[in-house]
Amino acid sequence: MLDHLRNIGIIAHVDAGKTTTTERILYFGGSKHKVGDVDDGNTTTDFDPLEKAKGITINSAAVSLEWGDTRVTLIDTPGHVDFTAEVERSLRVLDGAVGVFCAVGGVEVQSETVWHQANRHGVPRICFVNKLDRMGADFYDCVEQMREKLQVIPAVCTIPAGQSEQFTGVIDLIRMKFWKQDPTDPAHVRYQWTEIPADYKQQAAEWRDKLLDAASHACDELLTAILEGHEISEEMIRKALRMGTLSGKLTPVHCGSSKEFHGVRLLLDAVRDYLPSPADRPPVEGIVSKTKEKVLRKPEASEPFAALSFKTVSEKHGDLVFLRIYSGELKPGEFIMNTTVGKQERISHIYRLFGDRRDRLEVAGPGEIVAVVGLKYTATGHTLCSVDQPMLLDEIRFPDPVISQALLPAKNVDETKLAEALSKMVRDDPTLKTKMDPETNQLILSGMGELHLEVSVHKLERDHGVKCEVGKPMVAYRQTLAKPVEFETRYIKQSGGRGKYAVIRMKYVPLSKEARAEWEAQLEEDEKPDPNGIYFVDEIFGGAVPKEYIPSVEAGYRQGCVKGAKYGFPLVDVKATLLDGKSHEVDSSADTFKLAAIESFRDAQMNAGLVILEPIMNVVVHAPAQYQGALAGDINRRRGEILNLSSDKGRCMVHAYIPLSELFGYTSELRNFSSGTASFTMEPSHYAPVKEELADIRQAS
């Protein structure tokens, strides 16, 4: 039954305890008999040798379990910003998510990032505040941070009985009982519901009132019962919480300690009770490729088959492709259509995944997340559907890389083997890019951060047998025009026979952040904002430039934006307007107008001047309070802008914007500087102007 299916993701900041929480969920869900531990390197989802070595999640992994009569497909996603693509593609296909927060760290920067990613995809969520047994844990401060930083109404369903070394378990505010775990049970299964300990009764009563107040925002029946003083049943509260979660009006909050097995079973109950089944989600919307007509697919077996490929894994015996099935059914041996590339595919086998274990299926239906083999042309973001009723779903959009390194293959490396290996890796990871530098003839690998590139080079050797060294990291600079400029370009050439004639008058305007937002707000419904802020406006009247040549002018301008005239960095945030022009009946052509536009934009860059832009990172450093002054001085030396300084309980936090170019090697420097006691996280924030003498303009090819 579709109602008894849950597709959820575990999302959070790095080291909040996502993988440990997943392990406990699998253990209690009966999917494994022996519980794994990140420290021991034997968890189900972190089965990659590099994940075991580093103690972090790198690849999103899918597992399945049963909780009562509910089947849960769970994806454990990475918390490190370098692997944001894994989170993005998982959220695109999930119905719900569990946000895990560390009770000591609170709502950290990457927690905010993944939360806003989930907002974009409209994914309902519940929260789990973990590590309540850790020194410095503060559950109530974490809840307040959720309210302030995530802009949610937290509906607190469980509270801790004590914190840090005083933590003894969790109090359920719906039942108004204390979950007492049997400390003598090595399997951590035995428990009993008991009276709330006297020390916490008043606190529990206060938070019960807050829970009812939050839940009443979503359910008129509950609000009426509260106002009229009627008895409020557990079922009524759960119904209100489910309504509020699905509508996004509130977010249920649970707590515990995954490592010590506390609170995990109540979290599983919350997944079952509050998060949506595929039937609760709106029908998926796509378009018919030929007519561009909108079409809806309901999550029903009787509907035509439609699925989205959200991940590929290259393997020796055929690629493994992860699918979210939205409608219809899929069986081994069937032919389906890949509408993204317009080719038919044949399914060999279908699997339900359990980490690195696979269970073969004879049929997969709507709402299921499965892996298939046998596909030859399918990559991440491709639509698969029935051959006789094709449709196209929205692709998954990924951020552009921010860092590059030169790949230096070992002398005995086969170039063909290297090219094949890189093409597979780039297809599996859409945030990884490769190109040849035409000036230095070097192979350039680009990604989301130093760790991302390090892991990619490691995989290149381990999985594909290609050994490479890496050169100095390079920053992905951008550039824009320094000021508006308007002029006429005359592209007229005569060389015997048919000549070339195109005259265009163009206006180029650099777009500030505000101007770009204002312009994008005026776009038509069917026009999507350009990710690089490159826009073209046609203001030709009276056919001064024939209609058939105008797309060529736009194409020439956009080609010029890919690589600048002075420096080879891409241009961003420029609006070009075609104001006037002239054509010739014989000598004008589409190619001529395209060449005129390329020349026009090249001249515009020289006349207006250029502003080089560098990526700025949003950085948060946590360290013992004694290092606060030294950290602030070090950030200033790195051209950083400090946004916030705070200290509490002997620890300090420094939040700053720092140019990416100043952060290479920061991990090891910070470790040495603080004797291993400090940690930091960073994520791309924005681009900002940089002086030419500070930019590594030698990178421009």
DSSP 92-156: HH-SEEEEEEETTTBS-HHHHHHHHHHHHHT--EEEEEE-TTSTT--HHHHHHHHHHHS---EEE
User: For residue 336, which of 366, 305, 370, 292 has the smallest C-alpha distance?
Assistant: 305
- pLDDT value of residue 700: 53
- Determine the structural domain holding residue 459 and report its residue range: 408-475
Kindly report the CATH number assigned to the domain that includes residue 460. 3.30.70.870
- Residue 590 pLDDT more than 80? yes
How large is the average pLDDT for residues 179-185? 90
Greatest mean pLDDT range, 61-70, 261-270, 399-408, 522-531: 261-270
| pLDDT above 90 coverage of the chain, percent | 47
Domain boundary among 280, 298, 319: 280
Same domain, 154 and 56: yes
> What would you report as the CA-atom Rg of the chain, rounded to the nearest whole angstrom?
28
Nearest to 168 by CA among 209, 141, 196: 196
Neighbouring C-alpha atoms within 13 Å toward the C-beta of 305 = 20
Residues 147 and 21 in one domain: yes
What is the CATH number for 14?
3.40.50.300
Report how far residue 654's alpha carbon sits from residue 677's, in angstroms, rounded to the nearest whole number.
14
Q: Write the single-letter amino acid at 340.
A: T
188, part of any domain? no
Q: Examine residue 399 and state whether it is found in any structural domain, yes or no.
A: no
The single-letter code of the amino acid at 581 is G
Q: Are strands 500-510 and 574-582 parallel, antiparallel or unpaired?
A: antiparallel
Q: Which residue is listed with tokens 């933590």?
A: 167
423 and 461 together in one domain: yes
Q: Is 239 domain-assigned?
A: no
106-110, 273-277, 419-423: which has the highest mean pLDDT?
273-277
**Residue 550: which H helix or E strand, with range?**
helix 550-562
Do residues 107 and 150 touch, judged by C-beta distance below 8 A? yes
603 and 638 part of one domain: no
596 shares its domain with 659: no
pLDDT band at 317 (very low <50, low <70, confident <90, very high): low
Q: What is the mean pLDDT of residues 443-472?
A: 83
The confidence score (pLDDT) of residue 33 equals 44
Backbone angles phi, psi at 165, to 5 degrees: -70, -15
For 665-681, b/e burial (b = at least 16 CB within 10 A) is ebeeebeebbeeebbbb
Please state the rounded mean pLDDT for residues 154-169: 95
Band of pLDDT at residue 222, cut at 50, 70 and 90:
very high
Residue 619's DSSP bridge partners are 656, 682
Residue 296 bridge partners (DSSP): 285
The position carrying tokens 């900002």 is: 688
Residue 16 falls inside a structural domain: yes
Tokens of 147: 């309210």
461 and 492 share one domain: no
Per-residue pLDDT averaged across 618-627, rounded?
Answer: 87
Q: What's residue 246's pLDDT?
A: 95
Look at residue 43 in the predicted model and tell me its pLDDT: 47
- Distance between CA atoms of 416 and 486, rounded to whole angstroms? 48
Single residue among 475, 497, 530 that ends a domain in this structure: 475
Residue 456 lies in a domain: yes
| Cβ–Cβ under 8 Å, residues 242 and 155 | no
**Rounded Cα distance, 7 and 693, in Å:** 51
Sheet holding 320-327, edge to edge: 343-346, 335-338, 383-385, 306-313, 320-327, 369-373, 349-354, 357-361
pLDDT tens digits, 13-53: 777 888 788 888 888 887 544 454 544 444 444 334 443 44
Backbone angles phi, psi at 117, to 5 degrees: -60, -45
**Is residue 265 domain-shared with residue 327, that is, in the same domain?**
no
Indicate if 572 and 596 belong to the same structural domain.
yes
Q: How confident is the model at residue 55 (pLDDT cuts 50, 70, 90)?
A: very low
Residues 389 and 412 in one domain: no
pLDDT at 652: 87
Per-residue model confidence (pLDDT) at position 698: 55
How high is the pLDDT of residue 406? Answer: 83
Do 588 and 683 lie in one domain? The reply is no
Number of domains in the chain: 5
Helix (H) or strand (E) holding 422: helix 415-428
Statement to judge: residues 386 and 501 lie in one domain: no
Identify the CA nearest to 274 among candidates 196, 230, 211, 192: 211
Work out the number of other CB atoms within 10 angstroms of the CB of residue 469.
Answer: 11
Domain with residue 581: its CATH number is 3.30.230.10
The mean-pLDDT minimum among 69-78, 266-275, 544-553 falls in 69-78
Say how far apart CA 75 and CA 502 lie, in whole Å.
56
Specify the pLDDT at position 61.
Answer: 61
Task: Please provide the DSSP assignment of 376-402 as one string.
Answer: SS--TT-EEE-SSS--EEPPPP-PPP-
Neighbours of 32 (CB within 10 A): 18
The DSSP code sequence of 640-682 is -EEEEEEEETTEEEEEEEEEGGG-TTHHHHHHHHTTT--EEEE
Assigned token pair, 57: 């999640």
For residue 628, the one-letter residue type is: Q
- The answer to whether residue 276 sits within a structural domain is yes
Residue 195 falls within a domain, yes or no? Answer: no
Residue 517 predicted with pLDDT over 90:
no
Same domain, yes or no: 499 and 559: yes
Q: What is the sign, positive or negative, of the torsion defined by CA atoms of 520, 94, 157, 258?
A: negative
CA separation, residue 326 to residues 61, 554, 575 (Å): 20, 37, 39
DSSP code for 506: E
Residue 544, burial from CB neighbour count under 10 angstroms (0-12, 13-18, 19+) = middle
The DSSP element (H or E) to which 375 belongs, if any, is none
Kindly state the average pLDDT of the residues 263-280.
Answer: 95
> Would you say residue 208 lies in a domain?
no
Beta bridge partners of residue 578, listed in sequence order? 506, 538
Given a cut of 60, whether residue 117 has pLDDT beyond it is yes
Of 71-75, 113-117, 544-548, 655-659, which range is least confident? Answer: 113-117
Q: Give the pLDDT confidence score for residue 438 in this predicted structure.
A: 63
Euclidean distance between the first and final Cα of the chain, in Å? 57
**Which of the listed residues 608, 636, 658 is the one where a domain comes to its end?**
608
Q: What is the distance between the alpha carbons of residues 160 and 165, in angstroms, rounded to a whole number?
A: 12
DSSP sequence for 228-290:
TT----HHHHHHHHHHHHHHTS-EEEEE-BTTTTBSHHHHHHHHHHHSPPGGGSPPEEEE-TT
Residues 472/564, Cβ–Cβ less than 8 Å: no
Side-chain half-sphere of 330: how many Cα atoms within 13 Å? 36
Q: What is the CATH number of the domain that holds 691?
A: 3.30.70.240
Nearest residue to 635 (alpha-carbon basis) of 662, 616, 611:
662
